[in-house]
Structure 1
Amino acid sequence: MNKRMNQIGFSQRVRLEWFEQTANLVMAGNDRTVVNETLQNLLQDKVSVGGQAERGNREKIITILLKTWMTPPKELESLRIAGLDLLKRIPRKNHMVVHWGMVSAVYPFWAGVAVQVGRLLRLQGTAAAAHVQRRVREQYGERETVHRAARRVLRSFLDWGVLQETDQKGIYKGSKEFPIDDADLIAWIVEASLHARPNPSSPLHDLLSGPSLFPFKIKTVHAETLAAASPRLDILRHGMDEDLVMLKEKGN
């Protein structure tokens, strides 16, 4: 898991509807070849139009889409299956929550950028791209790849509708928070958030209101509700009134 935490991986501007279409293809039972070919056709007039590079932006985007919903790291397979099950039954307006959680788990860099955006929005109501960039580079290193990837994640946030442009160039504001009150969905996004953290345990309050989930307003729930909704979460009473939520170890 530590290796995943230090990787960038998410280096393209990827639209929400492309994740939705990928998940739909997977849920329909298509194999990797069919999904890949369908995504190639979908993106051919949208990304790298006319490009012949072996690893152009289109191929990199498709790699991100496939790794998120078809071939995630082994430790995320249960999360993926549960996420697909949620997509089948929850209202379409809530699908973004599931895509956000799965991307965060597969690519913690996405969650890392979200943390910095969420903190700035909470502190001052806006987030400057330059400030986000500086904080992300402090964590991941002063590399051009980090700068470029952070910029594309921010553009993805705009595409997804969770950030909005302001009158000042490079200054963003948050959109209206999306409410989440489904207990199964809350348990799942908590699990996904734990997978995006170096330490797979956290106080419940920090998970429900953490800056990496800045686009969402998550209903307050009891720890026991989360444990009942997900067999992959464990709860530890930490002090008099604080519950620690953690990923259940394999075999338990």
Structure 2
Amino acid sequence: MSKAVVFSRPIKPEWLDKTVEIMLALQNPDDIALSINEYLSQYIKSHINIRKTREILMNIWVNVSKDEEGFRDKALKVYTFCDKSERLAVHWAMMLLAFPIFRDLCAIIGKLSDIQDEITLSQIKRRVYEVWGERSTLEHSIPKNIKTLRECGVLEQVKPGVYRVLKREVKNKDVISLLIYAVLKSRDKLYHSVWELERFKELFPFIIDVSVADLHRHDAFVLDRIGGETVVSIGKGFYDG
């Protein structure tokens, strides 16, 4: 099935924060949408762009599938008590699940940044097209995703069309578990070696430390031994409440 490209507007981290703030205050999705609209109207003049931006924010945090409601609810709880500097990582986990284009773009940037200090827009586009095909919607969507990453402070523009990754450390174990779970859930693979977790390219801006003991803390993960190495897969129950 063809994957949809819907991340068509740049998103600011403070807009994500406000979305969560509104969600914690309101229950009805229609009320949440109206409140987000009113908030965005302070920053965006076009009614069409307000709607598009609101839909992206709603798809990240509000309009999640039944299968992901438990994860979303856990993410909300973690967001409320984690350090403000680590809230971006919570949003990141939600965005990875909401938008395959965002996930794939981040994985591509992560791979490129492992082998070179500076990344060009043309390199990113070429690799995205290899995964998604040369769709007309991508020409519009890719720059919006890149601008979102710049707004989030994880990509720095060195010069037009050339970027450098800015790293940040995440220490909160619950935040790290959200990131790991989001990657595992979004990938079409039954299990991963534990040694891979800290090297997930989708998490390119985050410096994390994951141990087997950390994984044992959560029912979200199942550990096993295959071919002489410890592997991890998604479990059940941890994000149900």
TM-score, normalised by the number of residues in structure 2: 0.92
2:219·2:236 contact (CA, 8 Å) conserved in 1? no
2:179·2:203 contact (CA, 8 Å) conserved in 1? no
In the alignment, which of 73, 79, 84 is matched to residue 71 of structure 2?
A: 79
Query: How far did residue 19 of structure 1 move?
Result: 0.9
Query: How far did residue 136 of structure 1 move?
Result: 0.3
Which whole-Å CA distance do the structure 2 matches of 1:9 and 1:244 have between them?
Answer: 33
Runs of 4+, deviation exceeding 4 Å? none
Which whole-Å CA distance do the structure 2 matches of 1:208 and 1:71 have between them?
Answer: 29
The residue number in structure 1 matching 2:207 is: 217
RMSD of aligned C-alpha atoms? 1.8
Query: How far did residue 199 of structure 1 move?
Result: 2.2
How many residues are aligned here?
237
Q: Structure 2: any 5+ residue segments left out of the alignment?
A: none
The residue number in structure 2 matching 1:98 is: 90
2:194·2:232 contact (CA, 8 Å) conserved in 1? yes
The residue number in structure 2 matching 1:178 is: 168
In the alignment, which of 17, 20, 35 is matched to residue 20 of structure 1?
A: 17
The residue number in structure 2 matching 1:245 is: 232
* Residues 1-252 of structure 1: pairs in structure 2 closer than 5 A: 6-47=3-44, 49=45, 51-52=46-47, 56-166=48-158, 168-175=159-166, 177-222=167-212, 224-228=213-217, 230-240=218-228, 242-248=229-235
Identity %: 22
Opposite residue 7 of structure 1, the aligned amino acid is A
Listed one character per residue, the Cα deviations across residues 20-70 of structure 1 (whole Å, up to 9, x for unaligned) are 1111111223421221111111111422x1x35xxx222111111112111
Which whole-Å CA distance do the structure 2 matches of 1:7 and 1:205 have between them?
Answer: 32
2:22·2:36 contact (CA, 8 Å) conserved in 1? no
Which whole-Å CA distance do the structure 1 matches of 2:190 and 2:103 have between them?
Answer: 14
Which whole-Å CA distance do the structure 1 matches of 2:186 and 2:28 have between them?
Answer: 27
Listed one character per residue, the Cα deviations across residues 147-188 of structure 1 (whole Å, up to 9, x for unaligned) are 21111101100010000010x32000011x221222222222
Opposite residue 143 of structure 1, the aligned amino acid is R
TM-score, normalised by the number of residues in structure 1: 0.88
Which whole-Å CA distance do the structure 1 matches of 2:214 and 2:227 have between them?
Answer: 19
Q: Structure 1: any 5+ residue segments left out of the alignment?
A: none
Query: How far did residue 200 of structure 1 move?
Result: 4.9
Listed one character per residue, the Cα deviations across residues 70-100 of structure 1 (whole Å, up to 9, x for unaligned) are 1212221111011001011111111000001
Which whole-Å CA distance do the structure 2 matches of 1:195 and 1:105 have between them?
Answer: 8
Listed one character per residue, the Cα deviations across residues 202-223 of structure 1 (whole Å, up to 9, x for unaligned) are 222222221110110001312x
Listed one character per residue, the Cα deviations across residues 192-243 of structure 1 (whole Å, up to 9, x for unaligned) are 1112212253222222221110110001312x42132x22221122333x32
SS in 2 for 1:33: helix
